[in-house]
Chains A and B, each alone.
Chain A
Amino acid sequence: MYGRQRALQPVDLTLEPNQITALLGENGAGKSTLLGILATLISPSSGEVLYHAPGNVALEDQALRRTIGVIAHDSFCYGDLTGRENLSFFSRLYRVADAMKRTDALLARVGIEAAADRPARTYSRGMMQRLAVARALIHSPAILLCDEPFTGLDRSGVQMFSQILREERGRGAIVLVVTHEFEAIAGLVDRVLVLSRGALVHDGPAPSACTAVEIERIYTSAQRLRAPSAAGTGKG
């Protein structure tokens, strides 16, 4: 709830490992709120989110946060630190083993190793987004939550990030991507969720050889099932 407005209706879903799930919806549908709840940054006014490690062990607090990586609108990086220092700082916060090696590997993986020792403040929007991707992956999260991750990325950046998402899926991660860029996720996602006015109005597998047109069709038909306007609108 945001004040008296309900940002999300009750949502019942299970996110699986080895799967990339796209979360679609118009502005104010509640996508960012759902992501914030999954990331432990927002406490739901009712209901609960259960996280399970392999072996069905319930995780809590710090152990849970260690398994979550978030890519958001903002970079989550310090402009006065260099790209390398940012990654080094977060790798130490997450207690990453062999942090220097991991930092170097990720800087190379996202293609900003040449600018690694420049203050992040001097980065272009696209470079900052690449650094944000590296920061989110620094601890090899089991759950990767992405809110408009393609923002600011050029064509090669989109390809790079799509490949990273495939690798994360192959590694067994749960990947949830909120986006309006249907082209970017075409052929990439395994499952499509559509939120409308806070309600989950579609939850189904992505068609094989899923194109942007197919995703658009799913999105448009799901929107026709939109929840009653009494649900109100929230952030998202």
Chain B
Amino acid sequence: MSVVREVALLLWKDVVVELRAKELLFGTVFFGAILVLIFAFAFYGGERPPVDVMSGVLWVAIALSGTLAIGRAFEREREGNTLRALLLAPISRSSLYLSKLIAIALLMAIVELVVAVLLSFMLHASLIEHVLSLAALLLLGTVGFGAVASLFGAALGRARSRDVLLPLLVYPLSVPVLIAGTRATTALLLGEDASFWLKFLLVYDAIFISIGVWVFEPVAVSE
């Protein structure tokens, strides 16, 4: 079976399970919406907040919702110890990593859509004018964040304090994504050139996906 077919099969499973449970989707969307709401009320009544504040709100929502999603996604694989069943299967272990990364990216894309719409509505961010470049930016940032978080989600396995350790490990490594994402969003909203940050994210994604594919097997099997 090719890696593409393996990833598609694993992704199908993740999507079906999520469509039945709906806990990840509802949980992360609700969490992202609450964050935007809190920030909106923090700035309520004053002048329209500066663009860089809006960028910060967007990426804080992405980082926090993403961590929540990753933690729960791997927790689900621990119920019934299904991660072990997948490690026993005659498939490439990198397919496991890539399928988890894509599943998380799809979920985060939905969260980002809701957060972006709420930002536009509540903080009057002019996101719609830059929808295509913003979509590309969010895609690159989400993939970069997911590449790091998926790796640590699997690596923490049955570690006792995994819920605490996951953000402690993921955030320092994904700081470049968050800085680049925030800076690029600000640049886009101000109508400036964001190509440097987009290229930066592209390189970051390539590096961390390569590392993930390379080290996922020893990291997951040592669970």
Contacts and interface: CB of A to CB of B under 8 A. Distances in A.
Tell whether A and B belong to one assembly.
Answer: yes
Given A43-B221, A119-B20, A62 B91 contact: yes
Nearest to A70: B88
A40 B222 CA distance: 11
Interface string A81-124: 10001000110111100000000000000000000000100000
Contact of A95 (B1, B80, B82): B1
Interface in B24-46: none
Contacts of B84: 41, 70, 72, 74, 76
Nearest to B81: A74
B80 A81 contact: no
Contacts of B88: 39-41, 65, 68, 70, 76
Interface stretch (B9-17, B52-60, B101-109): B9-17
A79 B89 CA distance: 19
How many of chain B's residues touch chain A, expressed as a range?
20 to 34
A209 interface: no
Interface of B is mostly: helix
A43 B80 contact: no
A73 B84 CA distance: 12
A142 to B, nearest CB: 13
A75 B80 contact: yes
A188 B28 CA distance: 51
A80 interface: yes
B47 interface: no
B19 to A, nearest CB: 9
Nearest to B87: A41
Interface in B67-92: 79-82, 84-92
A74 B83 CA distance: 11
Contacts of B13: 78, 81, 89
Contact of A76 (B80, B90, B222): B80
Q: Which residue, A63, A76, A94, has most C-beta atoms of chain B within 10 A? A: A76
A6 interface: no
Nearest to B85: A76
B76 to A, nearest CB: 8
B222 A93 contact: no
Contact of A78 (B17, B92, B222): B17
B159 interface: no
B218 to A, nearest CB: 8
B21 interface: yes
Interface of A is mostly: loop
A73 to B, nearest CB: 8
A63 B90 contact: yes
A78 B80 CA distance: 7
Nearest to B95: A93
A191 interface: no
Interface in B174-223: 221-222
Nearest to B22: A80
A218 to B, nearest CB: 31
A169 interface: no
A80 B80 contact: no
Nearest to B80: A75
Given A62-B90, A62-B92, A93-B91, A77 B80 contact: yes
Given A77-B80, A90-B85, A43 B90 contact: no
A68 B85 CA distance: 11
Nearest to B14: A78
A65 B90 contact: yes
Contacts of A42: 221
A226 interface: no
Nearest to B91: A93
17 contacts: A39-B88, A41-B84, A41-B221, A62-B92, A65-B90, A66-B90, A68-B88, A75-B81, A77-B82, A78-B13, A81-B13, A81-B20, A85-B16, A90-B85, A93-B6, A93-B90, A95-B90
By Cβ-Cβ distance, the 9 closest A-B pairs, closest first, are A74-B81, A76-B85, A66-B90, A80-B20, A62-B90, A93-B89, A65-B90, A80-B17, A75-B80
Given A77-B80, A81-B16, 4 more contacts: A41-B88, A42-B221, A80-B17, A90-B85
